[in-house]
A and B are shown apart, each in its own frame.
Chain A
C-alpha cells in the first residue's frame, strides 16, 4: 500500500490540471505548493527537531526579496535568483540560530517572533533597496532559457513539482540516522548529547534548512505574483503557518501536507464567513488540539488503530 502512494501522488499531480482547468483554481494550487514547501521546513524544525519558530514569514520574505531584487535590479535570471534566495536565508538562520537555539520553548517562540518583526522592519526601512512599503513591482516570471513559466498551468507544474520533490527528500531524510538524531534531540537533549550528537549544531542546521525552504518558497511566491511588499511577511503569516501545521499534525510530514492544503483552501471555502473565519479557524485549533495533540493525522491514526483493535485479527492491507 505504502508503495502505491508515490505513483498515486505523481499521477494526481499530472492529472489535476486536466480536472481543474480554471486559472484561479490552478493559482490556488500554486499557493498550496508554496505553502507546502514552507510547511515541510517548519515540520522538520518543529515537529521532528522540536524547535518552535514564529518567524518563518521573515525567511519567506528574505527569499522573496533576494530573488525579486536580483531579478529587477541586477537582471539575474530568476532561476539563479532562486538559488540565492535559498542560500541567503539559510546562512542567516545558521548564524542567528547557533546562539538563539540555546533558548527553549516559548523563549524561542517569542525570540523568533521578534526576529520576524525585525526582518519586517528591515523590509520597510531599507527603502533604497526594498522600496519600503511600496514594495518591488514588475518581478519577471520564472524562466528556464527562453521558456517562461508565465501561465498558471506552467507555474503549477513547476511549483508543485518542486513541492513533491521536497516532500520526497524530506521523507527520506527523516528515515536516516540524521532524522533519528533530530527526534532524539526533540525528546531529550541530554540523551542526544550522551549518544554523541552535536545538539547545538544539529539544531542550527535544521533551522537553516527550514529557512532555506521558506526562502525558496518565498522566491516562488515573488516570481509567481510579480509583486511583493512587507504586508505579506507579517507575524500573522508566521502564526497562521504554524497553526495550520499543528492542525495538520506535527508528527508526520503528511501533517504538513494537510496543513498546507488547509492554509490555502480553507479561507477560499469559507470566504463567505469574512471576519468570522478567524473564529472558526481558532476553534478548530483549540478543539482539535484538546482532543488530539497530534492534529488531524494523529486523529486519523487513532481512528485506524481503533478500528484495527476492534477487529480480532489485524487484516493485511487495511491501512
Chain B
C-alpha cells in the first residue's frame, strides 16, 4: 500500500467522521439541557436531507433559502414534539420520554416513506468542480463544507453555553434540574429551546451531508447510532467531544476497511465504543464531572 492510499484512507475516515460529529452535536445539545437522549435525532438529520432535496430538486429553490427553510421547519418540528408529547408526559421517567422519542422516530420515518417514497434523494454539492488533490489523494469539496460548518456550529455552541445567559441557564438545568428550578429558571422553557435547537442542528447536518450520503427515509437510526457513538466516545457534556469522537470513529472505520473484510466496518466502531465505555465510561475527553451521566440516572 503506497502513501497516497494511506492518505486516501485517512481522508475517507475524516469525511465520514465529520458526518458523525455533526450528528453527534445534536445529541449533545438536548442532553446538555435535559439529560434526555432523543432517539429521533437521526430522523431530524434524515428529514433535513429529504426536505432540502425536495426544496432544491422539485421546487427549485435557491440553496440558501432551502437551507434556512429546512432548518426552520425541523426546528419547529422539534418544538412540536416537545409541545405535543414530551412536555405532557404524566409523572414519567426519563425512560418514558426515550420510548416516546422512539415512537416519534417510527412515525417520522414512515411518514417520510409515504411522502417521498423509498428511493434515495440527492442534490448537488454546494460548490461544483473537481475534487481537491492532496498528496495524491482525493478530497471531496462537500467534505470541506461539512468540516467547516461543523466547526463553526461547535464554536457557536461553545460560546452560547459559556457566555450567554440562556446557555448558562440550560447548562444549569442539566447539572441539577431541581436546583435550577429553585433558582427561578424555567426548566420547561429550557427543554423546549433545546428541542428546537437540536432539530435545527440535526436538519443542518442533514442538508450538509446529503450531497455525500444521499437522503433515504430509513437512514436515520444508523446515523443516530453513529452520532451517539461519536458523542459517547468523546464524552457527553461538551461540544468539542462530539467532534473528537466523530473523527476518531471515522478514522477507525476507514482503518478497519484497510485491514479487515469491509463487512466489519460498522461493527468495529461499535466494538471500540463498547470497550471505551467499559474502561472509561465518561468517554475519551470526559472528566469526573461527566461521570454522573453514565453512572446515575
B55 within 8 A of A: no
Using A275-B110, A291-B90, A293-B91 as known contacts, say yes or no to A103 and B103 having CB atoms under 8 A apart: no
B89 within 8 A of A: yes
Interface string of B240-274 (1 = CB under 8 A from A): 00000000000000000000010110110011011
B110 touches A279 (CB 8 A): yes
Output the nearest chain A residue to B110 by Cβ-Cβ distance.
A278
Chain A hits for B221, CB < 8 A: 235
Give CA–CA (A115, B92) in the complex, Å: 27
> CB within 8 A of B110: which of A100, A109, A276?
A276
Chain A hits for B37, CB < 8 A: 105-106, 109-110
A228 within 8 A of B: no
B65 within 8 A of A: no
> CB within 8 A of B96: which of A106, A110, A243, A293?
A293
A107 touches B281 (CB 8 A): yes
B182 within 8 A of A: no
B277 touches A103 (CB 8 A): yes
Using A110-B232, A235-B221 as known contacts, say yes or no to A105 and B98 having CB atoms under 8 A apart: yes
B242 nearest CB across to chain A (Å):
14
A125 within 8 A of B: yes
Give CA–CA (A293, B96) in the complex, Å: 6
B228 within 8 A of A: yes
A241 nearest CB across to chain B (Å):
12
A66 nearest CB across to chain B (Å):
20
In the complex, chain B residues 79-110 whose Cβ is within 8 Å of any chain A Cβ: 84-85, 88-96, 98-100, 102-107, 109-110
Looking at the complex, which of B45-53, B137-145, B289-297 is the stretch in contact with chain A? B289-297
B274 touches A278 (CB 8 A): no
Give CA–CA (A228, B107) in the complex, Å: 29
Interface string of A91-116 (1 = CB under 8 A from B): 00000000110111111011101110
In the complex, chain B residues 5-63 whose Cβ is within 8 Å of any chain A Cβ: 36-37, 39
Give CA–CA (A100, B100) in the complex, Å: 24
Main secondary structure of the interface of A (DSSP, over half): helix
Chain B hits for A275, CB < 8 A: 110, 113-114
In the complex, chain A residues 217-261 whose Cβ is within 8 Å of any chain B Cβ: 235, 239, 242-243, 246
Chain B hits for A282, CB < 8 A: 103-107, 110
Chain A hits for B266, CB < 8 A: 117, 121
Give CA–CA (A150, B227) in the complex, Å: 46
B107 touches A279 (CB 8 A): yes
B294 touches A114 (CB 8 A): no
A148 within 8 A of B: no
> CB within 8 A of B296: which of A100, A104, A115, A125?
A104
Interface string of B118-156 (1 = CB under 8 A from A): 000000000000000000000000000000000000000
B100 touches A289 (CB 8 A): yes
Using A125-B261, A279-B114, A290-B90 as known contacts, say yes or no to A110 and B296 having CB atoms under 8 A apart: no
Chain A hits for B102, CB < 8 A: 239, 242-243, 285
Give CA–CA (A110, B297) in the complex, Å: 15
A52 within 8 A of B: yes
Give CA–CA (A113, B84) in the complex, Å: 27
B188 nearest CB across to chain A (Å):
15
B225 within 8 A of A: yes
Q: Which residues in B have some Cβ–Cβ distance to A below 8 Å?
A: 36-37, 39, 84-85, 88-96, 98-100, 102-107, 109-111, 113-114, 221, 225, 228-229, 232, 261, 263-264, 266-267, 270-271, 273-274, 277-278, 281, 293-297
Q: Which residues in A have some Cβ–Cβ distance to B below 8 Å?
A: 52, 99-100, 102-107, 109-111, 113-115, 117-118, 121, 124-125, 235, 239, 242-243, 246, 275-279, 281-286, 289-293
The 6 tightest CB contacts between A and B, nearest first, are: A278-B110, A285-B103, A282-B107, A282-B106, A114-B270, A106-B37
Apart from A111-B277, A243-B103: 11 A-B pairs, beta carbons within 8 A: A103-B294, A110-B225, A115-B270, A117-B225, A125-B263, A278-B109, A279-B106, A282-B105, A282-B110, A285-B102, A291-B90
